[in-house]
Amino acid sequence: MVFSDPQCVAVGETMSELGAREILIGEAPFESQSRAVVEGRNNGLLRIYADTTSGQLLGAEMAVPDGEHLGHLLALAIQSELTVFDVLRMPFYHPAIEEGLRTALRTVAEKIKIEEVDGELSLCESCPEAPLQ
């Protein structure tokens, strides 16, 4: 992790460490990421790497605002051997930098299509609003 602006973070396996291994890549540019726009820090790119068949998270590299927080979340997910589907089922409030992570995860999930993400962004049963897409 480099505390620059934006912060540079690598977690799990990097692209160079994955080498010729076949993987899926999810990206999220931060130019239009809601929270980053509001804060005037909307620059950077997040890339996540996942297994092509299971969707298990393998690593990520990023230069994004608050990258230290995204890196921490991804380190926990990778250590716990979570898939992109597992992480998408976790809550993401709005507007938050973490929504950029959700964008990258969705990119990978759409490429795999082995599992529907029915529980993604589920809300409290007493809340009538639909989740943000």
Q: What residue type is assigned to position 28 of the chain? A: A
CATH number at residue 13: 3.30.390.30
Does 75 map to a domain?
A: yes
Does 24 map to a domain?
A: yes
Does 81 map to a domain?
A: yes
Domain count, the chain: 1
What band does 131 get if pLDDT is binned at 50, 70 and 90? very low
DSSP designation for 93: -
Whole-angstrom CA distances from 5 to 41, 48, 100 are: 9, 20, 17
Question: What length is written for the chain?
Answer: 133
Does 1 map to a domain?
A: no
**Apex CA 111: angle with CA 22 and CA 132, to 5°?**
135
Does 129 map to a domain?
A: no
pLDDT of 19-66, one tens digit each? 999 999 999 999 998 889 999 999 999 999 999 999 999 999 999 999
Does 94 map to a domain?
A: yes
Q: What is the pTM of this model?
A: 0.84
Find the helix or strand (DSSP H, E) in which 57 lies.
strand 57-64
pLDDT of 86-106, one tens digit each? 999 998 877 788 989 999 999
Domain extent at residue 65 = 7-112
Helix ranges, the chain (H): 15-18, 34-38, 67-79, 84-88, 98-112
Does 57 map to a domain?
A: yes
